[in-house]
Structure 1
C-alpha cells in the first residue's frame, strides 16, 4: 500500500464534515468517466481503497462494499474494525466478517472519505479463479445512490454524473422506464413469455453482479412454471456458496418496447432465497447477460432507468454446451524447445502466470496459468466422453490454452452446437485426449 497516497487522501478529506459521507466529484466537474473491464458479463472497476489499487465487481444487488481475496501483495489498511456475521446467497453457512468505517474510496477522481465496508477473511471466498483475473471485492448501492450512473457496455466505460446538474438527453432510440428503489435495491418491471406466448408481468431485481441473463421464481398462481425443456445446472457463486437450479429458455422477455426472443433463463432452487427472508412481490433477477445488450442510465434520484440497445443486442445467448465449468488453479511450469534467442519475457502483469526464462538458448521454461475442470454437468457431452472434475486442461482443438485468457478458453469449449471439440488433459501425470460433440440441451 502507498502510505503517502493514503495520507494525501486523509488530508483532502479533513475539511469535509464526517457524518453521512458520500461520494463527491472534484469541484466544478459534472461527471467522472472510468474505464472498466467486461468479464463474463460483469463490470470490473478499478477502485482505490485507502491508497491501495484494487479491482471490484459493480454489483447493484449489494448494499455496502465487501472486500475479500486480499494477499500480502495487496495489503490494505482498514479502519475502526469490529466483528460481524453476514449472510449471502448460496448453499453454505453464514460467514464471519469484519466491519470497518472511515475508509477512503476513490473511483476515478470521485472520493468517499467515510466509506463503510465489510471484509471477509475466508480464503475460500474468491471470485478470481472463475474470472481469470484478480478480483478483490464488490461494490454497489453507494455509487448508484450518489450518482446518476451511465454504463456503456460496448465502450466499456462508466460515467458518474452529479445528480444535481445532470440533465437527461431524450433520444428516439432509447426508452426511459420507471425504476423501483426499495431497501437500497433497484427493480424494473417487465414481461416474460414462458410458454404458449402468454404474457406474464414480472418485477425483477436489477443485478449487475450476476453474469446470468434472467432468473425467475416459480409461481403457479401467475402461470410462471418451469418449462418442460430444462436441466439441472450450476447457476453461480454467492457469498455463502454455490447456487444451483434449472437452466432453460423462455419464449421471450420484454422491457418497455425492447423484446428478446428465446431468452436464456434459470429457475434457481428457492431454498437459497428462503434463508435471506421474504421476497415480497419480486419475481426474479435481471443479470449482466441481458443488461450488456444496452447502454444503461441508472437514475435512482428520479427513480428511472433509460435503455438504448447496442451492438450486443442481437448476440446469441451463451450456454454451457460442453457441460464443463473451468477455473484457474494457480500456475505451473512448462518446458518448450525454441529457436529464437529471447530472454526473460513478461507477458501481462495481470495474468496468473507471466514469466519465461531461457536455458542455453534452446529451452524456454514458462510459468503459465493452470486451468482445471472445477465442475461437470451430469449427462453433458463432456461427462459422457469421460472428463472428470480436477482434470488439468492442456489444449483445446490443438490450441495450447495458456496462450489464451480464461474467458477465451470457455468460448472454445462452447463454440456452437454440432461442433466437435478435442480436449487434451492431464490426469495423474498422464496426458489423455477426449473428443465430444456440442449439442443443444433443449432438443
Structure 2
C-alpha cells in the first residue's frame, strides 16, 4: 500500500532534498577509470543523456539538486520501478501551492560507461516543471549530487563535454592559469566564498554553485551586509521554481570576484517572495552563482577532496546580456504551414523537406502546388510591463510566425531568444498570429541597465 506524506522543503533554483541514503556509488564498467560524455548547452544548461531502467532520457546536470528528479512529461510511459513507491507533497520556490511527488527506489541508472543500481528517484507531477517547452528540446529530469559525489567532474563548456573520472587526490602543481578553490557543503550542495562590488563596496558573500541556474548571479538582499540593489534595476520574471513563477529585481553589480578572477558588470537578480526569505536563513547563504558565470570557466569539481579548480576560457570576457524585448516565449505544440518547396524529378512533383518540419500531412493540393507540414509553435507566455514588446501591443498567447523577415521554422527556440539579447536599439520586426489572424509589429530593444 502506498503511504502519503506531507513534506514541506525549500529548494535552491529547482529543488533539493535533505535526505540521507545508503545507496551504492556509480561504478565504471569494462575496467574504465574515466569517460567523456558530450552534452547540449541550451540556455546555459547542460543537457546529458541518462539511461533510466533501460530507457534513454535527457537530464539537466544540476549541482544545486541532491536527488534525481523525473518530470511527468513521458506521455504515460512507465520508467520508474513500480515497487517501493511513496507519495509526497512538496513545496518549493515559486508563488504556487504544494505539488505532488513520488519517491521510487531500486532504479538502475547509467551515464556513459558508468552504472548505478538501487538509485532513488523522485517524480514530480507539476506542469510548470516541464522544461521541454521552455528549452525547446525534450527534458525528462535533473540530476546532480549523485554524479558529483562519485566522480571528479570536469565541465568543458566550450567543447561541450563532461569528463567523469574516479576520485583521486590532486598531486603536483596546477596548470599555470588554474586556481584551486575550497568547497563547503550544506545539504550536499557546494558553496564558495566570493566577493561582489556594489557601489564601490567590496562585500564577501557565501554563494551556492548551481550549474542548473541559467542566470549569472542571484543575491538575497540584506541591508545589514550592504547587499542591496542600486537604483539601476527593473522588475522582471526570473524563471520557474517547483511551486511556480519567480520574480525579482534585475540589475548589475560592479564586479564579481572569485579568487583572482574578476568579472566586471555582471548581471544579478534579487529574487523576492516568501520562499526566498526562508532560503536566506540557510547557513549565511547570500545567493547563487549560476551558469552564465560558470560557463566562462573550465571547471573541475572534486567533492571527495572538497575543492573546485577554475580556468577561464574564451567566454570569460564576453559581455553579459539579457532579454531586452520584455517577452518570454516557449515551444507550445506545432502549427500548420504550406510548404511550397518542390522540384520536378522524372516528370513528378517532389516536395523537399522543410528543415524544421516535424511531420508531414500526406494530403497534397496539386492545383496550388503546396502541401501542409507541421513546425514548432513559439508562443508568448510572459510579457514584462512597460517593455518594448508590451508597449507596441504584443499579447500573451501570440504565436510568432516571423522574426526580422525570416520564418521561425528556420530557428530553434534558443536562436529566437538570442535575437532578443541583442544590443540596445536593435530593431525587431515580428509577425504573429492571434486568433487566426496575422499581426505585424516593430519595436526596438531597450537596455534598462545602460
TM-score after normalising by structure 2: 0.89
Corresponding residue number in structure 2 for 1:4: none
* Equivalent residue number for residue 218 of structure 1: 221
Q: Partners in 1 of 2:382 and 2:299 — Cα distance?
A: 33
Name the residue aligned to 2:74: 71
User: CA separation of 1:255/1:267 partners in 2, compared to 1, >3 Å: closer, same or farther?
Assistant: same
1:32-78 deviations in whole A, cap 9, x for unaligned?
11011100000011000001110011111111011013323754242
Q: CA–CA distance in 1 between the matches of 2:210 and 2:316?
A: 18
- Matches for 1:314-393 after TM superposition, within 5 Å: 314-340=317-343, 341-343=349-351, 345=353, 347=355, 353-355=358-360, 359=364, 362-393=369-400
- Residue 149 of structure 1 aligns with which residue? 153
Q: CA RMSD in A?
A: 2.0
- Residue correspondence of structure 1 range 144-223 to structure 2 within 5 A: 144-164=148-168, 170-195=174-199, 197-223=200-226
Aligned to 1:3: none
Bigger drift between 63-72 and 338-347 goes to: 338-347
1:55 aligns with 2:62: no
Alignment deviations for residues 223-243 of structure 1 (CA, whole Å, 9 cap, x no partner): 111111101101111111111
Is 1:288 matched up with 2:291? yes
> 2:340–2:351: 8 Å Cα contact kept in structure 1?
no
8 Å contact 2:148–2:302 — kept in the other structure?
yes
Partner of 2:411: 404
Report the counterpart of residue 431 of structure 2 in structure 1.
424
4+ residue runs over 6 A deviation: none
Does residue 129 (structure 1) correspond to residue 133 (structure 2)? The answer is yes
Which residue of the other structure, out of 82, 86, 89, is the alignment partner of 2:86?
82
| Aligned partners of 1:30 and 1:166 also within 8 Å | no
Distance of 1:358 and 1:181 partners within structure 2: 60
Aligned runs of 1:40-51 on 2, under 5 Å? Answer: 40-51=43-54
Q: 1:345-381: CA deviations, max 9, x gaps?
A: 4857xx8x34475725621311100011110101111
* Residues 300 and 19 of structure 1: CA distance in aligned 2, closer, same or farther (over 3 Å): closer
Note the C-alpha offset of 1:442: 2.0
Moved more, 417-426 or 267-276: 267-276
Distance 2:169 2:229 in 1: 46
Give the Cα–Cα distance (whole angstroms) in 2 for the partners of residues 115 and 206 of structure 1: 24
Match of 1:439 in 2: 446
After TM superposition, give the deviation of residue 149 of structure 1 in Å: 0.6
Closer, same or farther: CA 165–263 of 1 in aligned 2, 3 Å: closer
8 Å Cα contact 1:204-1:284 kept in structure 2 = yes
Q: Mean Cα displacement is larger for which, 366-375 or 19-28?
A: 19-28
Tell me the distance in 1 between the aligned counterparts of 2:362 and 2:284: 59
User: Structure 1: which 5+ runs fail to align?
Assistant: 1-17
1:85 offset after TM fit, Å? 1.8
Which of 308, 311, 316 is equivalent to 1:313? Answer: 316
Q: Is the 8 A contact 1:148 1:166 kept in 2?
A: no
Alpha-carbon distance in 2 for matches of 1:338, 1:304: 55
Task: State whether residues 237 and 243 of structure 1, in contact with CA within 8 Å, keep that contact through their aligned partners in structure 2.
Answer: yes
Q: Secondary structure at the match of 1:72?
A: coil
- After superposition, what is the alpha-carbon deviation per residue over 1:285-312, rounded to whole angstroms, capped at 9, x for unaligned? 0001000000100111111100111111
1:114 to 108, 118, 127: 118
Q: Using the alignment, how far apart are the partners of 1:253 and 1:297 within structure 2?
A: 20
Is the 1:243–1:272 Cα contact (8 Å) retained in structure 2?
A: no
CA deviations on 1:12-49 (whole Å, 9 max, x unpaired) are: xxxxxx95311111253221110111000000110000
Q: Deviations over 1:122-149 (max 9, x none)?
A: 3443111110000000111111111111
54-63 or 78-87: which moved more?
78-87
Q: Does residue 262 in structure 1 map to residue 269 in structure 2?
A: no
Looking at structure 2, the residues matched to 423 and 356 of structure 1 have their Cα atoms a distance apart, in angstroms, of: 27
Q: Secondary structure at the match of 2:26?
A: coil
